[in-house]
Structure 1
Amino acid sequence: TLTFGDRLDTNIAGLDVQFLHVPSEAPDEIVLYLPNNRVVISAEVDQGPTLPNIHTLRGTRFRDPVQWVESLDKLRAYQAEYMVPLHGRPVSGQDKVEEVLRMTRDGIAYIHDQTVRWMNKGLTPDELVEKVKLPPYLAGYTPYLREYYGTVKHSVRQIYNGYLGWFQGDPVALDPTPPRQQAERLIALAGGRDKLLLEAGNAYLKGDYQWAAELAGYAIRVDHEDQLAREIKARSFRKLGYASMNINWRNWYLMSAMELEGKLDGDVIRQRSAEMRKVFLSPDMVRSFTPQSFLQNWVTRIDPEKSGDVELTLGFSFPDVDEQWALEVRRGVAQLHKGIPEGTALRLSMDKSFMDTLLTGEGGLVKGALLGDVKVDGSLLEIRRFLNCFDFSEEAFGLTLR
C-alpha cells in the first residue's frame, strides 16, 4: 500500500497522474489530475449539477465549508481543460471548468460567510434560515447551484451547530419539559385533542401543510396509535414531499409518510437492514476491519443495567495477525486494552478470518466455540456473564412515531 499526505505524483501504465488530498464532502477526499491531458477527475469536491450538500441529513461529522472552498480553489489552480466529476456530466473547456468551480466555490463561501456574519449578531438557527439566502446570480446558476441535493437551510443549521453546538443561549433549553409532557400540556391549552386535530385538518385543507404536520405531531406524541393524527401528518408530508425539488427532503417526507401510514413494519426494516449490510460490508471491506475496530465497537454497546455489578476482563487473541486485546468491564463501563493483562483468566482465541464472519453476521461466538473456530480458556459461565453485559440487539425504531 502506497500512502501520501497532501500530494503524490506518479506514473500508471505510462500515464502521468497526480493524486491530491482535497477535504470536502469527506475528510479523505482525493482527486486525480492528468497533466498531459489536462483532465481533473474531481471526485466529490464538485458534486455535479447541484448545490453541494454541506450537511447530510442522515447524519455525519461536521463538513468544514472553509476546507471545501480551499479544495475547490486547488482544483481551479490546475486550469484544467476537462473536469470529470463522480456525479453528473463532464465539463469541457477551460473557461467553463473555471466557471463551474468558481461559482460552486462562491456558493459555499456565501452560505458559510453570511451564516457566520449573522451568528456573530446573535441570530439562532431558526432565524438564520430566514436571513441567509443566495443572491439571484448564485441561486440562478442552473443547474450547478440549484437545491437538488443540498439546501441553504439545512447547510446553515449545520454551520451553526458545527461552530457553536446545540445550545443557543436561552437557558429554557437546558432542562426542557419532556416532549410527551409538553405535548399533553399544549393539547390541553388548545382545548383538547379534538380541537387540536380540527385545527390541524383546517390547516391541511388551506394548504398550510407544515403547520398541519406540526399540530398533528403533538397528538401523535401522546398516542402513537392516533390514526386521525397520523393520517393528517402523513398526508401533509406527502404534499410537502411531492412539492420539494430537493431529493433528500423529498425522501424524508415520503418515507416518514409511509411510517405514519403503517407501511414500514419491523420485519421490512430488518430485511432492508440485512440487504444494506451485504452492500456495505463487502468481503474486501470486512477484511479491512482490524481487531481493534471490531472490539472498540463493543465499548458503546455496554448495558449498565446488566453490568452494574460486573467486574471482569476478557482477553482476545488473533494468532494469524499476531494481535492481542482485552475488554474490561467495570460496573457499567467498558474499556479496551491493547494486549492481555497478566493474570487474565478468561480468554478467547480466534483467527481474524473468523472475526470477519462475526461482522457479517454469518458466524457466532457460541457456534464458533462448538465447531472449534474459537478456543476458550476459563469458566464458560463467567464468559457468558461477560458477554451478557453487552447489547447487540438491532431493533427497528421509528423516526416519526416517537
Structure 2
Amino acid sequence: MRSFISLFIALALVACSEAPVPMEGADENGFTAPTAATLAANKAVAERIAAYPSEDFEQARRGLIASADSLVIRDPDGKEVWNQDAYRFIEGDAPGTVNPSLWRQEQLNNIHGLFEVVPGIYQLRGYDLANMTLIEGESGWIVVDPLTTEPTARAGMAFVREHLDDRPVRAIIFTHSHIDHFGGVAGALRESDYEGLRVIAPVGFLEEAVSENLLAGPAMQRRATFMYGRNLPVTPRGHVGTGLGKEPAKGGLIDILEPTDIIEATGQRLTIDGVEMVFQNVGGSEAPAELTFYMPQHKAFCGAEMVSRNMHNLYTLRGAKVRDALLWSGFIDEALTLFGSDAEVYFGSHHWPIWGQSAIQNFLAGQRDTYKYLHDQTLRMANNGATPREISEAMTLPEGLASNFANRGYYGTPKHNSKAVYQFYFGWYDGNPANLDPHPPEAAATRYVDYMGGAESVLEKAQASFDEGDYRWVAEVLNHLVFAEPGNQRAIALLAAAYDQLAYQAESGPWRDVYLTASWELRRGKPDTGTSLSDAAGLIKRVPTPLFFQTMAASIDGERAADASYVINMTFTDTGEVIVLTLSNGVLRYREGEKALDANAGITLTRELFLSILLGNAGLRDTLLGDDLSVEGSRLDLLGFFRLFQPLEPVFEVVRP
C-alpha cells in the first residue's frame, strides 16, 4: 500500500548502478566540454545582456546584517540537507558551460545571510530554496514562510536570534500551499511558542498543501528529480541553481500547522501582534491557495510568489495542473492598483527586495504584462492556425519586457509557458490528425530508425548534425535510436553529449537540470532507489482520510480487477470514521457512512496504524494476519482485494525504454 502516497518533498540523493560512458573531453562525471557552437551562443548572450541596465546586485546586498562564513546544514543524524558553500565557484565571468544570463542569476542567488528590508522587517535568504521573512511585532516575531524542512528553518532561526534578539514567535504566515513555504515550521518554533500561536493562511491552504501532488505524486516525484537536478554534482558542468533559488533542501522533517486565521477575501484586514496587515487572496495564480499582504505602517508589500525576480511557470516541468495566465496577470494588476501607489518596498518569497515606489510599480507592471503577453499572443497565433510547437518556436518577449531581468526565463520560459496557455484552452491535441493516435515511443522508434536506413545511417547523420551545432535535432533523432536499440552505446554517448550542449546553452535552471539529468542517466542508468516518506509523516497525518482512498483507487490494476467484486468495510476506532470500499468493473469507489451489510470483510483499526501501513512502517500481510487490528469476514478475501493494487515503480525509466 506504500504505492498510494507520494508527495513533492525534499528528495534523497540516490545511487546509480551503471558506469558512465567515457567520451573525449569529458570531466570526472562524464559531462562533455562545450563545443564551438555552444561557446559562440553563450558569448552572444553575454554581449546582449551586458547592455541591460540593472541595480540587482546592489539591491541583493542591501541591508546585509550578517552572513555565515560557512553554511552547511545537517539533520540530527548528520545527513547533509543544505550546502550553500558548494556554490562558491559561481563568481566572475560565466564559464562556457553555463548560459551567462543564468550564471548572473545564480550569482545573485548566492548572496545569502540575514538582511534588514526596512526597520522592523528582516529576511533570511540562502538557507533553503525560499526566503524566510521576520516581522517585529509588539511582543515577538511574525514569521513568514518557514522554509522546507525542520533543519534549515531551525538553523535559520538560530542565526536570527544570534544577530537580532531572542524574542518568541507569536504568529506564522503561510503565504501559499507549496511545501518550501511551510514544511519547516517545526524548526521555526520552540515548545513555548505554540501556546497562543496565530497561524494565518489563505483559504484552502491546508487542503491544498496536504493533497497537492498526492494523486499524481509518484510520477511527479520522479520528474522532479529531473527538474531540480537532484542527483547532479554541483559544478560548472552540473547543477548551478534553479533560477528561483539554489535548490530545495535535501531531507529533514516536514510538518504543517492548521490555520487559526483564514484569508478568504481581498481587502481582509488583521492586526497581528500589533502589526496591521491588508491581505489579497490570489489563489489560482502561482499556487491554488495563495495570499499577498500590505503593511501600511511599513509601506511594505509582500508579493509572496505571485511575483518574483524571474518569469515563473504557467506549467511546471515536474508536472502540475496548468495555471491560468490571464487570472494570474489580473491578480498582479489588482495588487498594483491596491498597493502600488503606496508601497515603498516590495519583498517576496524568493529573491531580493525592491525599494522605491516607481521601481515597484515598474516591476509589478512588467510581471503583469509578461503573463498577459504570453496569454494573448498564444491565443492570437492559435486562432490563426498555429500549433503548440509552432507557437513555442515563435514566442519571444518584446524587448521592453525581455530587457528587464525580472521577466526573463530563469525558471519558467516563454517556450514552455506558451504551450501551457495552449493546453489550458485547447488540451493536448493540436488539431493535426497525424497526432491523434500516434504509435507509442518504442514502436515508433523502431519504425523511424528503419525508415532512416538503420542505426548506422542514423548515427552518421546525427554526428553531422552535432558537428553543425544542431543539438535539438540530434536529441530528437537519437532519442528514437536509443528507444529502438537501448544497448547502442554510440547512440547513448552522442545523445548524452547533445543534452550536455543543450544544458550549457539553457537560460532556465530547470531546463539545464532536465538536460543534464538526462545525460547523467543515459551514462549511468536510472537511480537505484527513490524517496522515503518517513520525513513527511507529520504532513501526511493531516491528509483527510477520504483522500487516501481516492489515491488508492488510482492504484487498482484495472485489467486484473476487471472481473473482481468486493465490498470492504473499514472502521477507524480513534476517529470514528467508517469507510465502505466497493470494487467492481475494475473501479474502486468509496463512501463514508454506515457499514455495508453485504461486505466480504471488514477491518477495524486506528487511523495511526493505517497511516503506518501506508508509509511502509508496518507490513500489510503481517498486519492483516496479526493482532493489531480486528477482521470480520474473510481474511482471504481481504488479501485477494489488496493484491489487486499495482505495486509502485517509483524510479521508472525516462530517457530509455
Query: Residues 175 and 54 of structure 1: is their aligned pair in 2 closer, same or farther, counting only changes over 3 Å?
Result: closer
Partner of residue 604, structure 2: 349
Instruction: Describe how 1:49-128 pairs up with structure 2 within 5 A.
Output: 49-76=309-336, 77-79=338-340, 80-128=343-391
For normalisation by structure 2, the TM-score amounts to 0.58
Does 2:623 correspond to 1:368? yes
Partner of residue 64, structure 2: none
Relative to its length, the structure with more helix (as a share) is: 1
> Displacement, 1:74?
2.2
2:562 to 308, 312, 315: 308
Q: After superposition, give the CA deviation of every residue in 1:303-342 in whole Å (9 maximum; x if it has no partner).
A: 1233232111111111221211111111312111222323
Contact conserved, 1:55 with 1:62, CA < 8 A, in 2? yes
Contact conserved, 1:303 with 1:389, CA < 8 A, in 2? yes
For normalisation by structure 1, the TM-score amounts to 0.92
> Displacement, 1:97?
1.2
Query: How far apart, in 2, do the equivalents of 1:73 and 1:278 lie?
Result: 42
Q: Which piece of structure 1 moves more, 167-176 or 195-204?
A: 167-176
Query: How far apart, in 1, do the equivalents of 2:414 and 2:562 lie?
Result: 46
Partner of residue 42, structure 1: 303
Contact conserved, 2:566 with 2:600, CA < 8 A, in 1? no
Contact conserved, 1:306 with 1:388, CA < 8 A, in 2? no
SS at match of 1:261: helix
Q: Which piece of structure 1 moves more, 96-105 or 256-265?
A: 256-265
Q: Which piece of structure 1 moves more, 52-61 or 31-40?
A: 31-40
The letter for the 1-side match of 2:261 is: L
> Displacement, 1:118?
1.2
Identity level (%): 30
Contact conserved, 1:286 with 1:359, CA < 8 A, in 2? no
> Displacement, 1:223?
1.5
> Displacement, 1:361?
2.3
Report how many residues are paired: 392
Query: Residues 346 and 371 of structure 1: is their aligned pair in 2 closer, same or farther, counting only changes over 3 Å?
Result: closer
Does 2:393 correspond to 1:133? no
The letter for the 1-side match of 2:271 is: N
Q: After superposition, give the CA deviation of every residue in 1:270-320 in whole Å (9 maximum; x if it has no partner).
A: 2xx22xx345x241x112112101111111111123323211111111122
What stretches of structure 1 of length at least 5 have no aligned partner? none
Q: After superposition, give the CA deviation of every residue in 1:211-261 in whole Å (9 maximum; x if it has no partner).
A: 222221121111211111111100100111022121010010000101111
Partner of residue 264, structure 2: 5
SS at match of 1:228: helix
Does 2:428 correspond to 1:174? no
2:636 to 359, 378, 381: 381
> Displacement, 1:394?
2.8
Does 2:535 correspond to 1:244? no
Partner of residue 276, structure 2: 16
The letter for the 2-side match of 1:247 is: G
2:415 to 153, 157, 169: 153
1:144 to 389, 406, 417: 406
2:453 to 191, 194, 199: 191
1:262 to 489, 512, 524: 524
Query: How far apart, in 1, do the equivalents of 2:275 and 2:626 lie?
Result: 51
> Displacement, 1:129?
1.6
2:585 to 331, 354, 374: 331
The letter for the 2-side match of 1:176 is: P
Query: How far apart, in 1, do the equivalents of 2:610 and 2:302 lie?
Result: 37
1:32 to 254, 270, 293: 293
Query: How far apart, in 2, do the equivalents of 1:294 and 1:185 lie?
Result: 42
SS at match of 2:461: helix
The letter for the 2-side match of 1:147 is: G
The letter for the 1-side match of 2:641 is: F
2:649 to 387, 394, 400: 394
Contact conserved, 1:197 with 1:215, CA < 8 A, in 2? no
The letter for the 1-side match of 2:522 is: L
Query: How far apart, in 1, do the equivalents of 2:363 and 2:401 lie?
Result: 11
The letter for the 2-side match of 1:67 is: L
SS at match of 1:3: strand
1:286 to 515, 540, 549: 540
Contact conserved, 2:624 with 2:635, CA < 8 A, in 1? no
Higher relative CO (Cα under 8 Å, sequence separation at least 6) belongs to: 2
> Displacement, 1:123?
0.7
> Displacement, 1:355?
2.4
The letter for the 2-side match of 1:103 is: G
Contact conserved, 2:387 with 2:430, CA < 8 A, in 1? yes
The letter for the 1-side match of 2:361 is: E
Query: Residues 366 and 189 of structure 1: is their aligned pair in 2 closer, same or farther, counting only changes over 3 Å?
Result: closer
> Displacement, 1:61?
0.5
